[in-house]
């Protein structure tokens, strides 16, 4: 996965409450993409995860309002203007099923339609199928995808993924992905939260049909390196499957914003509590030191560390224009090999938090 040359730095402005504000961060814009696995789909080296858009069960402190909607739209616009064209959503994000306020797919579709038409074709959209126990067979995948397309107001998407392994019926779900490709509803297909044995079986089943398994989306960050420990990262590299990293800055924890006396609110506070944040201090200090060396933020350093692992596309969330522009600033420069290893060595001393339980299915 080679990175590209970069265009000159550009300032990006957003509008809020009728007045123009500067994002106050200078970024560079990528001119070349990376390919998802062996598929034809190319994306920016870092994408944007849209989990928080419209969600009230985990994000946004349980509320969704006009201000948060404006912020999300500005995040989308700033991402596009910064050269980040890859957006990942899912049918369950923000859905009523997940106790959300507005479906993330609906918001993303709306945001796409509200930008200039010549820019719309550049957007790369990924969404996901929820492998719920009452969904059976290949037809359930195609039907769910068509419902997602209706919410997105699109005729097709670039990447459709199985969000997690089903308790049963996984072979049928994979057949459904193949059907979606043949029907022209999607350009490429992937899985998410798949461990090595499931990943290899999925790859082989799709290959027999002539369909490429493009990606495996898993929890991966400097302080959650389970994909390295359980050989998922190695399997992706060996099979030519791109690893898409969700929670790449540990849900904001690696930004340095939170401290033992100021842990995150809501469900995240139960995971990244004061005790964990105390133990994380050496990692946060090193991220800050490297950020000062390169005139970057801790977030940008943490994302650059992931990109340095090769064959990895991080998809951090962005809830504002400033966050989106900051994310874009993770590209266009590189940590040294020694710095990459030093960060890993320091992070190894911190016991990881518990991941998404479906990783173990």
Residues serving a catalytic function are 93
| Residue 156 DSSP one-character state | -
**Beta strands per DSSP E along 94-228:** 124-129, 157-162, 186-192, 213-219
Q: Which residue, chain included where needed, has tokens 């290893």? A: 341
What number of other Cβ atoms are within 10 A of residue 116's Cβ? 7
Q: Which residue, chain included where needed, has tokens 């999925």? A: 202
| Residue 87 DSSP one-character state | E
| CA distance linking residue 125 with residue 76, whole number of Å | 12
Q: Is the dihedral of CA 271, 272, 275, 279 positive or negative?
A: positive
| CA distance linking residue 129 with residue 149, whole number of Å | 12
Q: Chain centroid to CA 339: how far?
A: 24
| Sheet bearing 213-219, strands edge to edge | 48-49, 86-88, 124-129, 157-162, 186-192, 213-219, 242-246, 312-314
Angle (CA) 236-242-244 rounded to 5° is 110
Longest CA–CA separation in the chain, Å: 56
């Amino acid at each position: 996965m080679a990175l590209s040359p970069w265009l000159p730095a550009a300032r990006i402005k957003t509008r809020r409450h009728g007045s123009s504000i500067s994002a106050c961060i200078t970024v560079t814009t990528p001119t070349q993409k990376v390919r998802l696995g062996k598929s034809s789909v190319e994306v920016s080296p870092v994408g944007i995860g849209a989990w928080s858009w419209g969600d009230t069960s985990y994000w946004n402190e349980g509320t969704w309002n006009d201000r948060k909607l404006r912020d999300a739209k500005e995040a989308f616009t700033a991402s596009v203007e910064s050269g980040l064209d890859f957006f990942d959503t899912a049918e369950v994000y923000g859905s009523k099923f997940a106790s959300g306020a507005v479906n993330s797919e609906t918001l993303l579709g709306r945001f796409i339609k509200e930008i200039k038409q010549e820019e719309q074709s550049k957007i790369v959209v990924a969404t996901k199928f929820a492998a719920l126990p009452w969904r059976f067979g290949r037809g359930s995948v195609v039907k769910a995808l068509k419902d997602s397309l209706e919410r997105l107001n699109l005729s097709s998407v670039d990447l459709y993924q199985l969000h997690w392994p089903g308790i049963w019926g996984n072979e049928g779900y994979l057949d459904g992905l193949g059907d979606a490709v043949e029907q022209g509803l999607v350009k490429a297909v992937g899985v998410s939260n798949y461990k090595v044995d499931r990943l290899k079986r999925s790859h082989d089943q799709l290959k027999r049909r002539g369909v490429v398994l493009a990606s495996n989306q898993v929890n991966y960050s400097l302080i959650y390196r389970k994909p390295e420990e359980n050989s998922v990262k190695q399997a992706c590299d060996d099979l030519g499957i791109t690893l898409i990293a969700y929670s790449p800055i540990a849900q904001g924890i690696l930004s340095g914003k939170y401290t033992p006396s100021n842990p995150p609110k809501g469900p995240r506070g139960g995971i990244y509590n004061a005790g964990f944040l105390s133990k994380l201090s050496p990692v946060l200090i090193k991220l800050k030191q490297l950020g000062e060396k390169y005139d970057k933020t801790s977030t940008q350093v943490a994302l650059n560390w992931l990109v340095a692992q090769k064959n990895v596309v991080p998809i951090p969330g962005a809830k504002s224009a400033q966050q989106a522009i900051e994310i874009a600033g993770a590209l266009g420069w590189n940590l040294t090999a020694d710095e990459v290893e030093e960060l890993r060595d320091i992070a190894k001393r911190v016991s990881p938090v518990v991941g998404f339980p479906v990783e173990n299915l």
